[in-house]
Amino acid sequence: MNFLGIIPARYRSSRFPGKPLVEIRGKTMIRHVYERASEALSVVVVATDDERIFREVERFGGRVVMTSPDHRSGTDRCAEALEIFRKDHPGKKIDAVINIQGDEPLIRPEQLQEVMTLFNDPDTAIATLVHEHHGLSEIVNPNAVKAVMDKHGRVLYFSRSPIPFQRDVPQEKWGKYFTYLIHIGMYAYRADVLREITRLEPSPLEKAESLEQNRWLENGYTIRAAISAYRNYSVDTPEDLERILHLFE
């Protein structure tokens, strides 16, 4: 299969404005993400709506496209970036798109391989990653999205609440008696499926949890997930960045 990696990148952020351009060990965050993704993918594109980010990606020699500032989500931005890429490269066949989070400067190339492997099954339409976790602080953290899966690796539901709720176990022991799955916000979609899901109206479960992937589930799309051997480190605030600086080479 031919994969296209797309990194949606906005300048505006309520908790960390301009974070794609923050410098980490001599490189901007967006450059860290781009270079790590490029270790696993032959074609990676940054999709932005900001001239400053556009210029920075051009400066370090990356591919970048300018997209609308009106997108509701990174998925919508990926769909527009795919169409732009196809117009600019009419002879290049793209079977699937990987939506790579622009605020995870420690993304592992191996994680991209994990999600691509899910497409060895021809029935996979949408794929993502989770990692196993036992720590109570993350289990109960609403910013750490939890997932539950069936025995075939299909996601049943995503929630900001701890799922499952262990009725007969004290909360402080939940991680001891059950392995919780924390969602890693990387998605891959077959190209035709990406176009379809961006045409769907926001759904009740999506609105309730503020999680767009629940819209896809509500509309009958199957999401396959792999349990990653690696955890992710998203940077939502300057404090998040301070906590992971020691992990950079």
- What the chain holds in terms of domains, given with CATH numbers, is 1-107 (3.90.550.10), 122-231 (3.90.550.10)
Quick check: 102 and 191 in contact, CB under 8 A?
Answer: no
Residues 6+ apart with CB under 8 A from 229: 110, 114
Give the chain's mean pLDDT.
Answer: 95
Helix (H) or strand (E) segment spanning residue 133: strand 126-133
Q: Is the pTM of the predicted complex or chain greater than 0.85?
A: yes
Per-residue pLDDT for 249 more than 80? no
Quick check: 199 and 183 in contact, CB under 8 A?
Answer: no
pLDDT at position 180: 97
In degrees to the nearest 10, what's the CA dihedral of 181, 241, 64, 72? 60
Share of the chain above pLDDT 90, in %: 88
Q: Each residue of 151-165: pLDDT tens digit?
A: 999 999 999 999 999
Q: How confident is the model at residue 81 (pLDDT cuts 50, 70, 90)?
A: very high
